[in-house]
């Protein structure tokens, strides 16, 4: 599992580790790891030029010491200093290795790679004018960010308000652990590929507390996916009910059923529009009609019947996953929705639920998902490039699986059915939503193979995504 920590947590852990090490040892470890990653990206150091954009503090020190390592390996290393007092020891090491600081107004060589060390984890969103100018000098050159892309919100995953400037990196090299901005959009998109350099503390690395923002990996999903035992039968594996689709949107009902009928629950029941029901039974003969269920998937394509279908499902007092049209009615009935609820809005739907603009949700997805989970007393699955699953206690899981081709009509209906099946199979709402989001993305990647896909193909690929979670992964 990838764990992202706050600036305060990281600083406390680094201070504790530094107390056990000789002076400068932690920076030496960080800068050496950084230099190795840069050298790997360059392929060969000889004859290559690296530009360091360096502010003050330890972030600049990491870059300067890394620059010294690269200079000793044959790189031409030039520094654009954006502070009157760059890290003294780092600057001395760089100069001793043959690197040089550019004078004000000096253009320098066109670099092969830029190292962004303008500000570190203590920086605030946005950049000063001199940093903006320094970035403009090297526009189009690949950028490696040191620790975090300068100018992003480290603990929030947000970008500067009002279109302020920030670094967009191709690669970010960080130290000890992920920061929130590495996992959460929109800042995660500015971080590029993230590599973590271990700092090698006495117990392996930084001693950090449990983190509130995490990202499941394949091994975590393998441990959580419900698997039948030898004594299980269709009822013990869970029965999921689907109330989805309408005369206007029959496809939504079919796709929601397809996600639910992917094999993770023992039985699927469909209750809804008769025409949709006929189509469901034609395409999914294993699906049956009304009866007792362990969870409901409600709302996809229910149109004018959304309120009624939600009310009927809520009356059973079983876990619910609520999507699309039904999201507008989650507060209509007073009191808690049910024993356990997952809400699955996209940014526009969540904006309506919170009475804010869509732009507000897209700019602050982490804060918005947490606010919604607290407001509605439910797990909130906010769909996006980095889907967020927020629990009521503030914990958030980020799902980075998937492909841009997943942005296709009906994909959310499949996800709703899939999460419903996982709820019926016995997962908690938090686990069902986060495992469902991960499997949904993985299935889309398999179905796409790098090209276009439609929602039905995602549903059909879910069993393959589960099979890809090998027994070895389950033990990992």
For the stretch 147-183, pLDDT in tens is 999 999 999 999 999 778 999 999 999 999 999 999 9
Tokens 């989970």, located at residue:
373
Half-sphere exposure of 91 (CA within 13 A, CB side): 18
Contact partners, residue 413, CB within 8 Å, separation at least 6: 244, 251, 252, 253, 255, 256, 259, 300, 301, 323, 324, 455
Helix 57-72 to helix 88-96 angle (10° resolution) is: 10
- CB count in 10 Å sphere of residue 74: 14
The confidence score (pLDDT) of residue 476 equals 34
**pTM score, whole prediction:** 0.94
The confidence score (pLDDT) of residue 337 equals 63
The confidence score (pLDDT) of residue 84 equals 87
How far, in Å, CA of 154 to CA of 122, rounded?
Answer: 8
Q: Can you say whether residue 269 is alpha, beta or left, with left for phi > 0 and alpha for psi between -120 and 50 degrees?
A: beta
Encode pLDDT of 5-52 as tens digits. 999 999 999 999 888 889 999 999 999 999 999 999 999 999 999 999
Encode pLDDT of 132-146 as tens digits. 999 999 999 999 999
What is Dmax (Cα atoms) for the chain? 80
How far, in Å, CA of 79 to CA of 116, rounded?
Answer: 11
The confidence score (pLDDT) of residue 203 equals 46
In the β-sheet with 379-382, what is the strand arrangement from edge to edge? 178-179, 2-5, 213-215, 396-399, 387-390, 379-382, 341-343, 320-322, 295-298, 239-243, 267-270
- For the chain, residues with pLDDT lower than 50 are 203, 473-476
- CB count in 10 Å sphere of residue 464: 12
The confidence score (pLDDT) of residue 421 equals 98
**Long-range CB contacts (within 8 A, 24+) of 12-19:** 13/176, 13/177, 13/206, 13/207, 13/208, 14/176, 14/199, 14/206, 16/207, 17/199, 17/201, 17/202, 17/206, 17/207
Contact partners, residue 416, CB within 8 Å, separation at least 6: 244, 256, 259, 297, 299, 300, 321, 323, 324, 344
Domains with residue ranges and CATH for the chain: 2-213 (3.40.50.10260), 218-475 (3.40.1190.20)
The confidence score (pLDDT) of residue 200 equals 75
Please state whether the peptide bond connecting residue 115 to the residue before it is cis, i.e. omega within 30 degrees of 0.
no
Percent of the chain with pLDDT strictly greater than 70:
97
The confidence score (pLDDT) of residue 333 equals 83
State the DSSP code for 405. Answer: G
The confidence score (pLDDT) of residue 113 equals 98
Which helix (H) or strand (E) segment holds residue 390: the answer is strand 387-390
The confidence score (pLDDT) of residue 475 equals 38
Write out the E strands in 83-155: 100-101, 113-117, 143-146
């Amino acid at each position: 599992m990838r764990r992202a920590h706050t600036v305060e947590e990281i600083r406390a852990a680094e201070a504790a580790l530094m107390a056990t090490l000789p002076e400068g040892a932690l920076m030496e470890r960080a800068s050496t790891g950084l230099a190795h990653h840069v050298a790997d990206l360059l392929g060969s150091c000889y004859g290559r030029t690296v530009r360091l954009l360096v502010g003050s503090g330890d972030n600049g020190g990491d870059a300067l010491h890394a620059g010294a390592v690269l200079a000793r390996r044959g790189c031409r290393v030039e520094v654009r200093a954006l502070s009157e007092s760059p890290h003294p020891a780092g600057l001395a090491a760089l100069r001793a290795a043959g690197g040089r600081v550019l004078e004000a107004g000096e253009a320098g060589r066109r670099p092969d790679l830029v190292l962004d060390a303008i500000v570190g984890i203590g920086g605030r969103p946005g950049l000063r004018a001199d940093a903006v100018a320094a970035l403009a000098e090297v526009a189009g050159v690949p950028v490696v960010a040191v620790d975090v892309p300068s100018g992003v919100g480290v603990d929030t995953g947000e970008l500067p308000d009002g279109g302020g400037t920030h670094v967009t990196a191709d690669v970010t090299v960080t130290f000890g652990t992920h920061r929130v901005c590495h996992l959460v959009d929109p800042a995660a998109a500015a971080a590029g590929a993230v590599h973590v350099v271990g700092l090698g503390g006495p117990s392996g690395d930084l001693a950090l507390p449990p983190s509130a923002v995490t990202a499941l990996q394949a091994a975590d999903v393998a441990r959580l996916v419900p698997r039948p035992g030898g004594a299980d039968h269709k009822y013990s594996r869970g029965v999921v009910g689907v109330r989805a689709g309408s005369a206007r949107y029959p496809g939504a009902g079919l796709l929601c059923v397809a996600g639910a009928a992917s094999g993770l629950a023992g039985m699927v029941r469909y209750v809804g529009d008769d025409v949709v029901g006929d189509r469901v039974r034609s395409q999914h003969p294993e699906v049956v009609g009304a009866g007792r269920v362990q969870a409901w998937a409600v709302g996809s394509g229910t149109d004018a019947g959304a309120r009624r279908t939600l009310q009927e499902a809520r009356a059973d007092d079983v876990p619910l996953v609520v999507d699309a049209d039904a999201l507008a009615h989650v507060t209509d009935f007073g009191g808690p929705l049910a024993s356990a609820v997952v809400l699955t809005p996209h940014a526009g739907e969540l904006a309506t639920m919170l009475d804010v603009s869509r732009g507000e949700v897209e700019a602050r997805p982490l804060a918005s998902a947490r606010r919604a989970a607290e407001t509605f007393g439910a797990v909130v699955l906010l769909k996006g490039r980095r889907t967020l699953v927020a629990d009521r206690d503030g914990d958030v899981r980020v799902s980075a699986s998937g492909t841009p081709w997943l942005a296709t009509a009906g994909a959310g209906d499949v996800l709703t059915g899939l999460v419903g099946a996982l709820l019926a199979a016995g997962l908690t709402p938090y686990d069902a939503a986060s495992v469902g989001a991960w499997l949904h993305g993985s299935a889309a990647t398999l179905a796409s193979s790098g090209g276009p896909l439609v929602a039905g193909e995602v549903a059909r690929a879910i069993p393959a995504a589960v099979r890809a979670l090998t027994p070895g992964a389950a033990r990992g």
